[in-house]
Chains A and B, each alone.
Chain A
């Protein structure tokens, strides 16, 4: 087991290195100039050149990458060209806000998805199954931003139940765990939860329905086990795959949805990426992409480690 875990941890090193190369290269491949973040559109050539030199952007790309990587491994992701603020601070603050939103959305998505999927799988082919499957297809297909706007119109404007935007009455820095603040979470979290809910419903439905047809279930029934006990065995057999899928979905949510966070002006990673992309703030863009990718890598590592704990056969394999 220890060897398995060690192997998984070692695998993350080349992946992380690859992530740094891709996140650095991608932002430099995109058209545009990083100095657009600070220089006015009509800035003369000499001003642009002076800024290029001041920010070290006149150096060869490989040198820029090496310096960036050197600082990144020491926890310094540089300084935002647009704001002058350290990228680490900007990204961590946004990650905190997205964690809050993604955590609630994941909870809603995973819980409802598992319930709907289990019901649909258990009553395979019934009306309940068709309803659960239908809702999961809608969940996966519906455009996020459209749903966000519709929810805002219905539940903020027509029925003034929840705020239309923002991260609390005093902003995210004054966040508190009370209803006055948590009501700001409701609409963006519901909007974000719809896709993972749909995917998890379909996954759980397929797994439950498949597991119920396996011979060991017939054997358990023949031994006279109650439905509740059999269901627990089904859950145990489906859990590793559900965990892997849920892990990926939480990873996607952590990336923050640019559209949902923009529609709700939620100051998370999606909102930050949106600003960084449109401003061509390359250090901020690189830093945010790197942190998010590393989140994904770490999350997958955790899932890989957790899976054999639930199903020891995986560790042996």
Chain B
């Protein structure tokens, strides 16, 4: 009898022991509902804009210089990636010398070295090289415009020469990602095959790719950076372009994390124990004015009045708190904000006074046409927000009408510039386009330098201020980061004082997390670091 009892208690212990073993070796999985309609390119340079880099860019691959994205309490900075150090040649400031990291291997087991860097530069810059890929080139060439030439120096050094002295050049390199030359050869020099079995040096490897449906990333246990080892074994990326569908998928437990939850659903998500995380994000939602001859915005008093006519707190409320009021092109906490004299705030009386000075009033309004998108990435709640701004401007004597187009079409109008017939011919004198403001070029210089007036660049409205031009030219030859920041702050405060745009709000890049997600650091950037996602009770 005692023997039978002992046997039965041993048998009873077996399932429990199996469960314990199962738990110890279970894989942690995070299912991530992303807002894109397809998985971005997996060959090295992702398509679908800056937001795509966090999914198939900085997960599978590494850049030479990385952007610190695993901190949330302060803006990230440039940190060593596959280059351990970089310096400008003191005898010729167009030459940058990169020291290449030793001991790093690609996912396929081949060595990363200086030859791989040159091979990858050829991949996007030398159309005659066998590995040249027009699709990857299209993504990255506009983001690394300064590179003139490059060569390998010795075993672990690479020299890149810029077209002109460019102290901001390192900011371009987080966009340039390194793919494995050996894997390219192994798949028969075919980038389409490489896309299914990619190989980089990043913290994740691609385990499964079903176009338009899912990509499964698994932890790279041999990752070289101990500070950036993945905290989750597997991340499943699921493209769910409709915001409401993403929220429903989260509510029903089909996914564990989603980006950009719809504002209307926030109370329900919070009420059901889901966590909403957001942070300062390098993004601004502005009206970019034309200052070309004939534009109604040439008078700075009108531009300032427009900035004072909008109650930004109400816009934030309209977005259920998923935005912060803008006081300039960059957030007020940015080292590039400076000390503008023009304090952007809601002051309709001051706005009316300025309009009166300029010869306008609500009875005799200034008329202007603004081109806007009906929606799309970075445009937030485009139509309601534009209607709010339209009403606000009407109250101080600015009568705005809209030309509404699709976002892809808006880009054409943007690239062409205000002076182009496409815009000037339709009396379009301002454009509403959400701008990424992640680095000095993207945030400031591309909009403020007179040398970048469209179509040469995206200084859409033709802004020209000699003091600003001088400062930007000086930045190009200033290699000290502190001095650079001071000069950038000078540029920014001039942009604000000249009211170059009507700045409304900054996005906060919200994410909604299921209670199962125990860790996630939201960086002050579009580049979120998926290695920081840590799952808790999903162990199976």
Contact = CB atoms under 8 A, between A and B. Distances in A.
B191 interface: yes
Interface stretch (A107-115, A167-175, A229-237, A248-256): A167-175
Given A157-B252, A173-B213, A38 B238 contact: no
A56 B38 CA distance: 25
Contacts of B214: 171
A125 to B, nearest CB: 42
A51 B134 contact: yes
Counting chain A CB atoms within 10 Å of each CB, the highest count among B37, B191, B192 belongs to B37
A135 interface: no
Interface in B7-50: 37-38, 41, 47, 49
Contacts of A54: 134
Given A42-B458, A84-B135, A267 B245 contact: no
Contact of B142 (A40, A94, A149, A275): A40
A214 B37 CA distance: 54
Contacts of B239: 265
Interface residues of B, number: 50
B424 interface: no
Given A31-B406, A157-B252, A164-B245, A84 B138 contact: no
Contacts of A39: 138, 142
Nearest to B410: A41
A147 to B, nearest CB: 13
Contacts of A163: 252, 254
B211 A265 contact: no
Interface in A6-56: 31-33, 35-45, 47, 50-51, 54-55
A165 B38 contact: no
B37 A83 contact: no
Given A84-B195, A164-B251, A167-B213, A38 B138 contact: yes
Contacts of A262: 241-242, 245
B1 interface: no
B133 to A, nearest CB: 9
A84 B192 contact: yes
> Chain A, interface size: which category?
35 or more
A36 B408 contact: yes
Interface string A73-101: 00000000011110000100010000000
Contacts of B238: 166, 265
Interface string B373-402: 000100000000000000000000000000
A152 interface: yes
A42 B49 CA distance: 10
A172 B213 contact: yes
Contacts of B335: none
B164 interface: no
B286 to A, nearest CB: 15
Nearest to B442: A42
Given A39-B138, A41-B411, A51-B138, A82 B248 contact: no
Contacts of A55: 134
B406 A42 contact: no
B143 interface: yes
Interface in B235-249: 238-242, 244-245, 248-249
Interface in A241-291: 262-265, 267, 271-272, 274-275, 278-280
B212 A275 contact: yes
A82 B245 contact: no
Contacts of B252: 156-157, 160, 163-164
A160 B211 CA distance: 28
A156 to B, nearest CB: 5
Given A163-B252, A173-B210, A278 B142 contact: no
B141 interface: yes
Contacts of A44: 142, 145, 456-457
B248 A156 contact: yes
Interface in A168-207: 171-173
A82 B212 CA distance: 12
Contacts of A85: 192, 211
A172 B212 CA distance: 10
B213 A272 contact: no
B406 A275 contact: no
A314 B502 CA distance: 69
Given A156-B252, A164-B252, A280-B408, A38 B135 contact: yes
Interface string B396-429: 0000000001111101101100000000000000
A301 to B, nearest CB: 30
A31 B192 CA distance: 29
B32 to A, nearest CB: 13
Nearest to A272: B212
Interface of A: 31-33, 35-45, 47, 50-51, 54-55, 82-85, 90, 94, 149, 152-153, 156-157, 160, 163-167, 171-173, 262-265, 267, 271-272, 274-275, 278-280
Given A44-B145, A166-B254, 18 more contacts: A36-B408, A38-B135, A42-B415, A43-B138, A43-B415, A44-B142, A44-B457, A47-B141, A47-B142, A54-B134, A90-B212, A149-B244, A157-B251, A157-B252, A173-B210, A271-B212, A275-B37, A279-B408
23 contacts: A39-B142, A40-B49, A40-B138, A42-B458, A44-B145, A51-B134, A54-B134, A83-B41, A83-B211, A90-B211, A153-B248, A156-B251, A165-B240, A165-B248, A171-B210, A172-B213, A262-B242, A265-B240, A267-B212, A275-B37, A275-B212, A278-B407, A279-B408
